[in-house]
Chain A
């Protein structure tokens, strides 16, 4: 051991210096290279599988997709603890076994409370510009906030209350620690749910294989005739869009078809969000994929079957002052009506209840 002079760090000194340098480097590099929240990551961090007939969903910069986040979102989606009395989860009204919707006219929340609108399917909701029947939420993230605090749905007093509740659960502590650096906030909760929902894409139906996959026999002759009606005499395609490259079955616009307008105090739909006269009684055009699984139909669940929906449109909707200018009686024959329903049945994707499930290869 060499004699240590004053001012000379010596072996130990050098060791400490080296260690701190290393430490500094580690901290420094994690500071620079950790995936930072806003603008850096892109949607392609997690490759979303886009089924035949669809396009990839818009992924906001602030909420990139990662496998861990999606898994967390899935946990939350199916977790009844997100409701005030632990009885209702997102999946209660948006049930994979029921086309990610339910079989009720309107959503049924905690304590059997009735909602005021039919539960839309979560399938392909990521492809809408706006969420809810009246378009009041500009994103999936915003939409997820609604039911959580809705007194007739999940009934939480506030989103922060939910955040506090989840903080006490070790699995969530761990998961949020992984995905959001432990920040268990309302915003992060809904971001996770939204990320999961962005994987709920339903395409590759017999219709998709026929039109985009060019498989001549993927759908029946009746369904083919029905497609013709859908595009021509039925005028359906104008709002329920089918394009040559993909089909969203919605124009992302709001139309008054007259449903409920003949009842006292009708649901005013989009008007409630925009306060514009032209939006009275107007509701978002829903996408029709897997529609055969999501009865009953329309914003109030008033049509029990696809056949009755066709009848509604065939007679020109329900007359009211604000009836959309594109709605008019169709004069379809019985055969055409039947074919139209057969066509709509061909929009059901295979194994719907498995969509969004964790893939076994993970």
Chain B
């Protein structure tokens, strides 16, 4: 009797553990993403539910949308949820394109081949890993010698304005790139040693800063 239930309990514990872990690691559980079909651009989407956020994609002719059953109306979704939304949107768009002109191949990638799921997954995991490493260093005081870490003044990479570089950086008295300012901060408020351009830590921090300011319009030279 015991023999039979032991593997079952083990499995149950594993399952619970996995669920708990994913809660802990990934915040919100994956929300439900529902397709709203497609309409010509300029028309209103049909079938929009009262609760949840709508994400649209328009190629200049036709609009596809998905709706996410997400209680938060605004603000950041979990990475997983956002990926789901993006993937679903692309899927719907590809389907819509196919339906419109079945003979014309969908040009999504280089050499006329669509990206495979494996490829998209590779990019995600690679980029994810790099940004995560940048996040770790950004939040770690070991770049300096006095316990200060970048996130103290720049939570979520805010107030870094990477899209304004190159610009005349007042504190440096010269036209600088983002990494010049990163080094200045490391040497001054963090009282650490500056990093060389080749240092993987420098690149990681840059990656995190650029990633967390995604969507901002590049305005180099902006004061």
Contacts and interface: CB of A to CB of B under 8 A. Distances in A.
> Is chain B found bound to chain A in the same assembly?
yes
A237 interface: yes
Q: Is the interface of A mostly helix, strand, loop or mixed?
A: loop
B180 to A, nearest CB: 13
A237 B184 CA distance: 14
Interface stretch (B49-57, B122-130, B169-177): B169-177
Interface residues of A, number: 6
Interface residues of B, number: 4
A242 B174 CA distance: 9
Contacts of B171: 238
A231 to B, nearest CB: 8
Given A237-B173, A241-B173, A242-B173, 6 more contacts: A238-B171, A238-B173, A243-B173, A243-B174, A244-B174, A244-B175
Nearest to A244: B174
A230 to B, nearest CB: 11
Closest 3 CB pairs of A and B: A237-B173, A241-B173, A244-B174
Interface of A: 237-238, 241-244
B121 to A, nearest CB: 45
A243 B175 CA distance: 9
B170 to A, nearest CB: 9
A238 B184 CA distance: 12
Nearest to B194: A232
Nearest to B168: A243
A176 B11 CA distance: 104
Contacts of A241: 173
Nearest to A241: B173
Interface in B69-112: none
Contacts of B173: 237-238, 241-243
9 contacts: A237-B173, A238-B171, A238-B173, A241-B173, A242-B173, A243-B173, A243-B174, A244-B174, A244-B175
A237 B175 CA distance: 14
B188 to A, nearest CB: 9
Contacts of A242: 173
Interface string B172-215: 01110000000000000000000000000000000000000000
A244 B176 CA distance: 12
Contacts of A244: 174-175
A238 B174 CA distance: 11
B54 to A, nearest CB: 48
A315 to B, nearest CB: 18
A238 B173 CA distance: 7
A237 B174 CA distance: 11
A285 to B, nearest CB: 13
B167 to A, nearest CB: 14
Contacts of B174: 243-244
Contacts of A238: 171, 173
Contacts of A243: 173-174
Interface centre among B173, B174, B175 (most CB of A within 10 A): B173
Contacts of B175: 244
A277 B103 CA distance: 76
A348 to B, nearest CB: 22
B146 to A, nearest CB: 12
Nearest to A231: B173
Nearest to B174: A244
A108 B174 CA distance: 40
A238 B175 CA distance: 14
Contacts of A237: 173
A243 B170 CA distance: 10
Interface in B129-177: 171, 173-175
A242 B175 CA distance: 12
Nearest to B191: A328
A200 to B, nearest CB: 25
A243 B173 CA distance: 6
A253 to B, nearest CB: 11
A244 B174 CA distance: 7
A243 B168 CA distance: 10
A242 B173 CA distance: 7
A62 to B, nearest CB: 30
A244 B173 CA distance: 8
